[in-house]
Amino acid sequence: MKTMVCETIIFLGGLMACAAVCSAADSDWLNARDCGASGAKYETVATTVAGSNQITAKDVGDFKVGQGVMVSRCNVRYTNKLLWGPRSKYGASKALGDTVEIRGYDGGAGSWIVYALDVEPGSPPGFRWTDDIGRTWKPKVAVTGDWQPLGGGTEVKFGKLDWESGYTVTFSARDQLVSRIEKIDGNALTLKDAANRSAQDAIVRHCDDAALQAAIDQGIKEKRNVYVPPGYYRLSRSVNVRNASGITVEASSPEHTVLDISEGEGGCINLSGGTEVNLRNFRMVGHTGFADRDIAGYFNTSGARGIWGFYLKSCCAVTIANTERVLVENCHGSRMSCECFASGGRSRGSQEEPNQAFTKSTTYLRCSATDCGRNGFNDWNCGPENTSVLYCRIVDVGGCAWESASRFVKFVGNYVRNAGTVAIGNLGVDNRDASFEHLGSGQHIVADNVFESTVPYGGCAIRTARGATQVIIRNNLFINFGSSAVEASAMVGPNEYPSANTTITGNIFDMSYGSVGTAIGPASAARTAIHVSASDTIVSDNQIYVRGTCDPKVTAIRLTEPVTNVAVHDNLIQNCGFGLITGRAQSRVGEVPDAKAFIPSLRTTPLDLQNPQQCQGWNLVWLSGGKPAGVSVIEGFDPKTWRFSLKEPRDVKVGDAFELFPNHGANWNLHSNTITGCLNPVVFDSCGSESSLFRDNTVTRGDTAGVPKAVVIGGRLTLIGNHFSGFDETGSSVLMLQPDRFGTPIHNLLRDNRFENCSNVVGESEKGLWQACSAEGNLFVNCGSTPK
């Protein structure tokens, strides 16, 4: 249907235009080949002369007049020239202009060199430099204001600026000429543009971005679709689909139709504006694979801050900005330095000032991101809505598998292996707008996916953080998993919001990677299946286990105070080092305005900027050497300044550590779980509250030997209706009672619990702790030592 048979070819500006008379059956399709796209992988060696637009090819091959070409080693130029800083302004950048002059690059060190000059704050100013995006740095030298040599013949000259404030200069030195063939005479190709460097070993390749752009522009103008036939299409820049009112851009198949931007920058296909675009059946190749993920990640500089390696040498498969409805189907990206598939733009706006044009629906169907230096898929701000990543494959990705600050997302049916975190939220000041206040963001359904192996970036497979609310993580499989799996995080920074309202249910976690008794992967590493520090969370109906024998480095479920409103129920946990463990988040003081106030620097407390009353009356425990050193009570919290006010003055110093916990009920309901074969089945190492409840759980030793304690209790916790069995080893105890953080016995309620086949029911870290408890209706069956 899409094979175009054209009767007339019209030449326009050296490119074959698509205004051809086609058969009526195909009148709604344009063929990119008829617009001058070669789709050819052929390349040849050529000789160039500086100042001449004529090159001599070894073999002309399939080159034709009107086609685009890229010629290496013959055109010295400096691109992507940016000035970053000063250091006090995170992420600030602007065009370099004449602030630093550049000259001398000779191509000897390579055809594409990325330089960075890093000026550390201080006087007199000095700089170090790198030509490999920070893998190695040359020693620091003084800024002289004269020409100073770098590598590859390149020299730089610093102009006037307050360099003492800390800056970073970045630019690329390239020798590529992008042009068009205007004439062929034997082996001589006459190009539209002249070389500026003589070379005996220039490489001439086809370059199809201009022809593809012409086809798409005409398709949009004539309201026709564009077909890209089998071929290998090299790009020096992005192909843009702008303001399309409805267009399909379709290739024959991803096996036979390739867009290669390895010698260019930008997205292979960029969508901007318009109402509807469908994109199908492409394979897209960039220049930075998984092995080079270190240079695509955060660029650690002493001058400016907030630079990422992919900013300096960037390529993507597809980018989307404000196109209302998008379908990307059966498209596959690899070796992308930036997000492989990315979207961002305007949101629906506020109720007072709504936006009509924004991305309302995006579907990625049966796509893949593999062997990439950075993210697989990304909605980078809260603008896009209803993004669906469906039945895609994400393998060997150096950044996040999926990162999103957007709304109403479905990440369903995907396969993820050796890729970074599915990062949900990340709603900093730059990722949200006024619509966030009334609509929220980060709403996700993460379901029916398979996660295998390890996570090379981000620390866990799935994380909700920094403003994500209404998140469901259900029915996912974790296969031979060697990293932490799911985290609902309360970590926030200035002007950020906590994550909340999360359900983690029906997942199966096989944490056997590198475990004792299995032969999968290298040595086992410390990891956690589910970690919850965000309030309003349900963890239910999950299976978490290690095949073979118990792995002491695996934790099944971890809860961290001051999380509140948590239900953990009907989970099956087997052969883990820790079954269920609770702990406390620690923060530090950053500023001390006066004796009754402080501003934290490390923030692990889930503070809601819309609720200034939230911490009033909370208890604050000061720490020294990790041990309690005093208690304060919070009088108030200002969400605009992050200032905590204390009821009573205290001698607080910058760097002091503290923990927060609510004075009211924490509302922890831990019930109906089965925990067996774990080295440390239950450890309650948190302050707890009168509403912290552990009930109707089954805890058994199973086949694991050397289990010293079944349940360690170091905080306020009520135990009702639990069944403990099989802790019959010499020296072991079912319950190990400890005083609270200040050495005070805890008045806990233990009622209607069943202890069976245990050598010793109660152990105490000091005498009198059992007597401090209220115990009634407990049953002891075939137990050696029972409490009186």
Using alpha carbons, select from 254, 256, 282, 252 the residue that is nearest to residue 267: 282
The runs of H, that is alpha helices, within 223-326 are 293-296, 309-312
Cα separation, 433 vs 333, in Å, equals 30
Cα separation, 608 vs 615, in Å, equals 10
- pTM metric for this prediction: 0.93
Determine the pLDDT at residue 625. 87
Compute the CA torsion angle 27, 29, 31, 36 (nearest 10 deg). Answer: 80
Question: With 50 as the cut, is the pLDDT of residue 14 above it?
Answer: no
pLDDT tens by residue, 595-633: 888 988 866 566 666 666 777 888 888 998 888 888 889
Beta-carbon contacts of 613 under 8 Å, excluding residues fewer than 6 positions away, are none
Name the band, by pLDDT with cuts 50, 70 and 90, for residue 637.
Answer: confident
pLDDT tens by residue, 498-538: 888 999 999 999 999 875 555 566 778 999 999 999 999 99
Query: Of 401-405, 498-502, 546-550, 704-708, which range is least confident?
Result: 498-502
β-bridge pairing 469-474 and 444-447: parallel
Query: Of 2-11, 384-393, 419-428, 734-743, which range is least confident?
Result: 2-11
Cα separation, 244 vs 260, in Å, equals 24
Question: With 70 as the cut, is the pLDDT of residue 4 above it?
Answer: no
Beta-carbon contacts of 669 under 8 Å, excluding residues fewer than 6 positions away, are 566, 567, 568, 569, 693, 695
Q: How many CB atoms lie within 10 A of CB 461?
A: 29
What is the average per-residue pLDDT within 639-666? 86
Percentage of the chain modeled with pLDDT above 90: 76
> What is the CB-side half-sphere exposure of residue 461 using CA atoms within 13 A?
35
Determine the pLDDT at residue 609. 62
Q: Where are the domains of the chain?
A: 77-174, 587-661, 668-781
Determine the pLDDT at residue 519. 52
Name the band, by pLDDT with cuts 50, 70 and 90, for residue 642.
Answer: confident
Cα separation, 574 vs 436, in Å, equals 41
Range with the largest mean pLDDT of 210-224, 342-356, 620-634: 210-224
Question: With 70 as the cut, is the pLDDT of residue 294 above it?
Answer: yes
Cα separation, 471 vs 409, in Å, equals 9
- The CATH number for 587-661, chosen from 2.40.50, 3.30.450, 2.60.40, 3.30.70, is 2.60.40
Report residue 281 CA to chain centroid gap.
26
State phi, psi for 748 to the nearest 5 degrees.
-95, 155
Question: With 50 as the cut, is the pLDDT of residue 348 above it?
Answer: yes
Using alpha carbons, select from 732, 733, 723, 726 the residue that is nearest to residue 673: 723
Cα separation, 464 vs 498, in Å, equals 9
Q: Which residue has the tokens 């999926």?
A: 402
Please provide the distance, in angstroms rounded to a whole number, between the alpha carbons at the two ends of the chain. Answer: 87
Cα separation, 337 vs 284, in Å, equals 12
Question: With 90 as the cut, is the pLDDT of residue 148 above it?
Answer: yes
What is the average per-residue pLDDT within 481-497? 86
Cα–Cα distances (Å) from 545 to 115, 151, 507, 557, 674, in that order, read: 48, 54, 11, 11, 11
Question: With 50 as the cut, is the pLDDT of residue 79 above it?
Answer: yes
pLDDT tens by residue, 418-461: 999 999 987 777 767 777 777 778 899 999 999 999 999 999 99
Q: Residue 693: beta bridge partners?
A: 669, 718
Question: With 60 as the cut, is the pLDDT of residue 747 above it?
Answer: yes
